[in-house]
Structure formats: C-alpha cells, structure tokens
C-alpha cells in the first residue's frame, strides 16, 4: 500500500516508537489517528504534525475506549490499524504480582486482539487494509526476566499468524513486527542495565518506524529486527532446547543482583 493511501489508527502514539512512527507516516504522506491515554502528549504531537494527524484519548483496555476508537476510525475512513500500545514487564516471575500480570496481559494481548476484532468489519469495507501488530523478539525467544512480557507477545505473535492465514486472500493483511530492545522510556534504568550487562543491543525508535513503514508499503507478513536477535528467533523456532543453557548470565544477574525486581 502506498503511504498516500494509508489512513492509520496508531495506538501508543504518544510513546517512543509511536511518536517516531507517526512522524514517519505523516512525512511519507499518510494520515494518522493518534491514540493513547494521555490527552496532553497527543495534543502536542498532533500540533507538530499538522492537518494529517488527529488524535483521540482512549484506553484500549476499556470497552468504551475501544468503541470510541472504532467510531473515530469509521469517521476518518481508516484502512490501517497499528497495535503498538504496550506495557513493559521485567523481573523474576515469582515476584510479579497478580494485578501487574493481568494488566500486562490485558494491555499487550487481550486489548489488541479485541480492538482488531472490533475494527475488522470496517477494515473489510476498504479497498485494501492492514493490521500491523507490534510484538517483540521476546515473544519468539523467551528470556529470563521477561516471562509475562514474553507470554503476551508470544500470544500476539500466534494470534497474528493464525489470523493472517484465516484472512489469506481477503483485502485485509495481518502483519507482525518483532523489534529488539529499543531506546525509549519503555525500558527503565534496571532494564537498561540488564540489557547492557547481557550484551543486548538497542535500536532507535526511528529505526523501528522505518521498518513499520517498509512493512506496510510492501505488505511483509512478518519481520524481526536486529542481528543476532532475528537469527536467534529462527534457531529458537526450530530447536528451542538448544538455547536453554545459553542464558546463564541473565539467570545469574536476576538471582544475584538485589537491585533487580
């Protein structure tokens, strides 16, 4: 799809990857409906983007929030949904509380699934349409310290793959992008320190935004970013147990560093 033909609903638009993506989309000629909870941040971003951007303050985990997104998407003639909103989760599994676990699974998996379902009928009325789910390398490569985050993104990956096959041959493309660590405020100081200590490289949000634009333009079904992460994802998909012993440093840091959750 050409960027000029895209009218995009972008969740998580006020965040690092979201705002970089909004800027890249508008610069390429797309129209964007910016969605997040924080009205002020969206207002500021929309102001800088001019008439190609409108915004809606909505919580994707609430039925009312999703209903307001669907109403706005219909009114603007949206033909692309980017499920980008997400919450971070890091720490020893046994230390994560039930409310946190539920909130992460709701935001990162249940809400994008329900928003996709709510928008599907409208997307099917468009000449061409796409849903691009922003997952993570950690959804296809389970790492110590990221059990719940990885579970949510693995769910989003499985959902994307199955729905892509279910809708094969229709006007709606289902796409999935798995970025590796990205330099945004998503990762707090503890995750940054953990990533440094384990040798994980980070991309800029602008790099992720370019990949999003490329995927939408080319219709790429699935993509993982960064070396060696995308190769590790492949190996893990073939023989996961080969990698089970490979994360000693991660385990040691998690159990020995008292500053980690």
Ligand X SMILES: NC(=O)c1ccc[n+]([C@@H]2O[C@H](COP(=O)([O-])OP(=O)(O)OC[C@H]3O[C@@H](n4cnc5c(N)ncnc54)[C@H](OP(=O)(O)O)[C@@H]3O)[C@@H](O)[C@H]2O)c1
User: Rule CB under 6 A: which residues touch ligand X?
Assistant: 11-18, 36-38, 41, 59-61, 84-87, 107, 134, 136, 179, 181-182, 184-187
Render 175-228 in DSSP notation, one character per residue.
Answer: EEEE---BSSTTS-HHHHHHHHHHT---B-HHHHHHHHHHHHHHT-SEEE-STT
Length of the chain counted residue by residue: 261
User: Least distance in Å: CB of 132 to ligand X?
Assistant: 11
User: Least distance in Å: CB of 169 to ligand X?
Assistant: 28
In the bound state with ligand X, the residue whose beta carbon lies nearer, of 136 and 160, is: 136
Question: What residues act catalytically?
Answer: 149
236-242: long-range contacts, CB 8 A cutoff, minimum separation 24: 236/140, 236/141, 236/142, 237/140, 240/142
Residue 225 CA from chain centroid, whole number: 13
Q: Which residue's Cβ has the minimum distance to ligand X?
A: 15
Joined tokens for residue 65: 């929030």
In the bound state with ligand X, the residue whose beta carbon lies nearer, of 79 and 205, is: 205
Do 260 and 253 form a contact (C-beta atoms < 8 A)? yes
d(CA 131, CA 120): 9
User: Least distance in Å: CB of 143 to ligand X?
Assistant: 12
In the bound state with ligand X, the residue whose beta carbon lies nearer, of 126 and 158, is: 158
Joined tokens for residue 237: 């998909």
In the bound state with ligand X, the residue whose beta carbon lies nearer, of 55 and 254, is: 55
User: Least distance in Å: CB of 35 to ligand X?
Assistant: 6
Position of tokens 């994707």?
A: 60
């Amino acid at each position: 799809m050409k960027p000029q033909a895209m009218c995009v609903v972008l969740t998580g638009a006020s965040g690092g990857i979201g705002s970089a993506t909004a800027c890249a989309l508008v610069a390429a000629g797309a129209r964007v409906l910016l969605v997040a909870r924080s009205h002020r941040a969206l207002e500021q971003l929309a102001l800088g983007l001019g008439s190609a951007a409108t915004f809606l303050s909505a919580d994707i985990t609430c039925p009312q929030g999703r209903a307001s997104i669907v109403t706005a998407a219909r009114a603007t003639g949206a033909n692309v949904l980017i499920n980008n909103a997400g919450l971070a989760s890091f720490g020893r599994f046994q230390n994560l509380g039930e409310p946190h676990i539920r909130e992460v699974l709701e935001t990162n998996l249940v809400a994008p699934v329900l928003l996709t379902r709510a928008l599907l009928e409208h997307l099917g009325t468009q000449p061409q349409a796409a849903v691009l789910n922003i997952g993570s390398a950690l959804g296809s490569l389970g790492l110590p310290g990221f059990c719940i985050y990885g579970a949510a993104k693995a769910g989003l990956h499985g959902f994307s793959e199955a729905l892509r096959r279910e809708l094969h041959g229709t006007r709606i493309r289902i796409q999935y992008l798995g970025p590796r660590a990205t330099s945004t405020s998503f990762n707090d100081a503890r995750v940054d320190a953990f990533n440094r200590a384990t040798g994980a490289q980070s991309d800029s949000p602008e790099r992720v935004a370019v990949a999003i634009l490329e995927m939408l333009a080319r219709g790429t079904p699935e993509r993982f970013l960064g070396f060696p992460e995308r190769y590790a994802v492949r190996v893990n998909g073939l023989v996961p147990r080969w990698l089970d012993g490979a994360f000693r440093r991660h385990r040691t840091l998690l159990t020995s560093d008292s500053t980690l959750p």
